[in-house]
Amino acid sequence: MFLVAGLGNPGEEYVRTPHNLGFLTIDRLAERHGIRVTRKDSRALVGLGEIDGQEVMLAKPQTFMNLSGTSLAPLMEKHSVPPDRLVVVYDELDLPWLSLRIKPKGTPAGHKGMISVIGSLGTSDLARVRLGIHPGRPLRSGAEYVLAPVRRSQDKELDDFVGYAADAVDSIIAEGVAKAMTKFNRRAPGSNIEEA
């Protein structure tokens, strides 16, 4: 079984914030594949279903972003999901808005949610889908920005971006990380800068 975990913060006030792109991607996958992500399990909301003939559990840890690993580690242990069947989807302030990077492993690059996941699992060998959220202008406070609602003028971009992220997850499950990387890794529109 694959476990696809979107990182974010529970609560209505966080729903449309950049920090909740992981949750929004899980919601899109759930809608697309008819999976109800409503069951409580290991401090997460989860749902079971199939994507491309593969058994999949979708999960939204309810621990708040910075403690995501304290939900995912017990969830994986309980359901015997090895790290190589985990896909973590999360926002990345180091990447420009609308860029997407699939990586098969690596450091958390300062992302507190991933620091928690990697620390709790004891391995950094896990697939991740990093969703760029940097607005391309200097920020007074990264924390304020990631927790502020996305502007209404960005609704269409946000909707398309979440769909693209869900496509990338579908591809990882159907074809593997390497193929998904070649298909879906993209720079931000209009950017020619190579991202980390």
DSSP string, 141-185: -HHHHHTSPPPGGGHHHHHHHHHHHHHHHHHHHHH-HHHHHHHH-
Give the C-alpha separation, 43 to 133, whole Å: 26
Domain residue spans of the chain: 2-184
pLDDT of residue 86: 98
pLDDT of residue 77: 97
The yes-or-no verdict on residue 190 having pLDDT over 90 is no
Give the C-alpha separation, 98 to 186, whole Å: 9
Q: Which two tokens stand for residue 49?
A: 């279903």
Give the C-alpha separation, 194 to 196, whole Å: 7
Which residues are known catalytic residues? Answer: 19
Q: What is the mean pLDDT of residues 10-14?
A: 95
Q: Which residues pair with 2 in a beta bridge?
A: 56
Q: Tell which residue, 90, 88, 95, 173, has the closest CA to residue 125.
A: 88
- Residue pair 3/128 in contact (Cβ under 8 Å)? The answer is no
pLDDT of residue 187: 76
pLDDT of residue 186: 81
Residue 83: Cβ within 10 Å count: 17
The yes-or-no verdict on residue 62 having pLDDT over 80 is yes
2-184 is a CATH 3.40.50.1470 domain? yes
Q: How far is CA 108 from the centre of its chain?
A: 13
Give the C-alpha separation, 143 to 85, whole Å: 31
